[in-house]
Amino acid sequence: MEEICRVCMGTTGASLNIFDEAQKWDPCIADIIAECTGYVVWRGDLLPENICPPCLEDALSAFSLKKTCEQSHKLYFPLMEEDRGEDICDNLEDDVDWEPSDGETEKLNQFETDSKVQDDQNADHQFKCSLCPKSYAHKSNLNRHKKLHTEERPYKCSDCSKSFKLKSHLQAHTHAHTGYQCSYCSKSFKQKDKLKVHLRYHTGERPYKCTHCSKAFKHNISLKNHTQSHTGDRPYKCSHCSKSFREQASLEIHIPTHTRVRPYQCTHCSKSFLYPKLLQIHIRTHTGERPFKCSLCSKSFQQKAQLIHHSRTHTGERPYKCMHCSKSFSHSGTLHKHIRMHTGERPFQCSHCSRSFKLKSDLNIHTRTHTVDRPYQCFHCSKSFKYKWYISRHLRTHTGERPYLCTDCSKAFKHKTSLKNHACSHSQNYR
């Protein structure tokens, strides 16, 4: 059976699952994709979970290039620590365009501060290089600097044929062979930062804490995405319709609904879908399957998100807080609609007149005043209606249902207004 590739959206019969191949790749394919693209990749995110061999090869090459560049850049950081702020010669700067990470920048700023203090104390750099304008306060620093002008590489790796000009470079390179070993499992990593992130899966550490609620996260990107559920911020806007999203990945999932064919056809109705996961969820509306069961009551649901939302009716949790007032909500969508009460935003514009609406449902209802569209068809006769409540009232003429019961006698009525009129006959003040 052919599967869709998550990367190129092509079909192939020899694809690999990006989550189930963890034992063959370190890190797993899903993490490699996340590292190379910057997107959050998780199981059940509605995107295809397979990758074709050509895209896998490209992903591994990109990942290898990224890690090699990171490793090369980090080679020079220990040197800066040893020199305590002494500049590396211009020849070295031509060879490597080093750009520190956030953590390294903080340390580098400290080294620069220390260097300025040392420069004040050693204003006269008496050890001058004969090959360039550089000068140093200590002879050892000058000797180390001179090696950068020569091709001499006295520090040789015992595991491969590479050699280095400085001892600190060799020490950093050695980790490419030995790696940083995890003390909890057999995994090892070439970068110390990667080991630090990995250890959180063993220790349960969640250093990134939400300032709006009690939740905490292992990764900073997860915290950023979560924070938008509190603020209602949806910076990623669709260019084809009025919808907007909290994450770029969600926008990219949505855009194909406007532009691409839907290859996955429902066998029960005429609907079709972009992804097999969406078709699987849709089919449950036909079969009645509800695999997600509430542990606190007898209810069950077709989708996991519905179960999560329902569980808050038991716990009373309202994690989505309005930044304009004291109200909070159990669903992010409800918060997003509520915020429009403060901002006055009316993003749903009628294409027939100048009116606009805060809710899409209100726009849909309004649009029918301009068209002859009558989507609610009666199953008993040929009549159709513009609004759902019209057909609900009409159906009682066929079924004989009388849901409005009088509390003073045994009579019942099809319409609420009829009950109100009847109630007056029981009142002594009726005139």
Enter the CATH code of domain 1-61.
3.40.1800.20
C-alpha gyration radius of the chain:
33
Range 378-387 average pLDDT: 83
Stronger pLDDT, 83 or 379, i.e. the higher one: 379
Do the domains spanning 1-61 and 320-367 agree at the CATH topology level?
no
Q: Is there a contact between 323 and 335 (Cβ–Cβ < 8 Å)?
A: no
- Give the amino acid at 91: N
- Cα angle 227-232-233, degrees, rounded to a multiple of 5: 80
pLDDT for the residue 108: 45
Instruction: Label residue 174 by pLDDT band (50, 70, 90).
Output: confident
Give alpha helix (H) positions in 1-101: 29-37, 53-83, 90-95
For residue 66, how far is the Cα from the chain centroid? 21
Query: Does residue 162 have a pLDDT over 60?
Result: yes
Q: How far is CA 66 from CA 61, 63, 191, 230, 273, in A?
A: 9, 5, 12, 34, 35
Domain spans in the chain, listed from the N-terminal domain onward: 1-61, 320-367, 376-426
The mean of the pLDDT values for the chain is 76
| DSSP codes, 216-276 | EESSHHHHHHHHHHHH----EE-SSSS-EESSHHHHHHHTHHHHS---EE-SSSS-EESSH
Q: Which fold has domain 376-426?
A: Double Stranded RNA Binding Domain (3.30.160)
Cα atoms in the 13 Å half-sphere on the side-chain side of 279: 16
pLDDT for the residue 428: 54
Tokens in use for 319? 């994690």
Query: Does residue 312 have a pLDDT over 70?
Result: yes
pLDDT for the residue 125: 65
Query: Does residue 85 have a pLDDT over 50?
Result: no
d(CA 395, CA 412): 16
Lowest-confidence region among 142-146, 333-337, 406-410: 142-146
Torsion angle of C-alpha atoms 23, 25, 26, 32, degrees rounded to 10:
-130
Query: Does residue 329 have a pLDDT over 50?
Result: yes
In this structure, whether the domain defined by 320-367 belongs to CATH 3.30.160.60 is answered with yes
Q: How far is CA 203 from CA 124, 190, 218, 404, in A?
A: 50, 20, 11, 60
Stronger pLDDT, 340 or 95, i.e. the higher one: 340
398-424 pLDDT tens trace: 888 888 888 888 888 888 888 888 888
d(CA 25, CA 23): 6
Query: Does residue 338 have a pLDDT over 80?
Result: yes
- Cα angle 371-375-376, degrees, rounded to a multiple of 5: 130
User: Is the dihedral angle over the CA atoms 19, 238, 322, 305 positive or is it negative?
Assistant: negative
Query: Does residue 115 have a pLDDT over 50?
Result: no
64-80 pLDDT tens trace: 777 777 766 666 555 54
d(CA 70, CA 172): 12
Q: Is there a contact between 386 and 374 (Cβ–Cβ < 8 Å)?
A: yes
The pTM (predicted TM-score) of the whole model is: 0.34
In 3-state terms, what secondary structure has residue 230? helix
Lowest-confidence region among 109-123, 226-240, 250-264, 375-389: 109-123
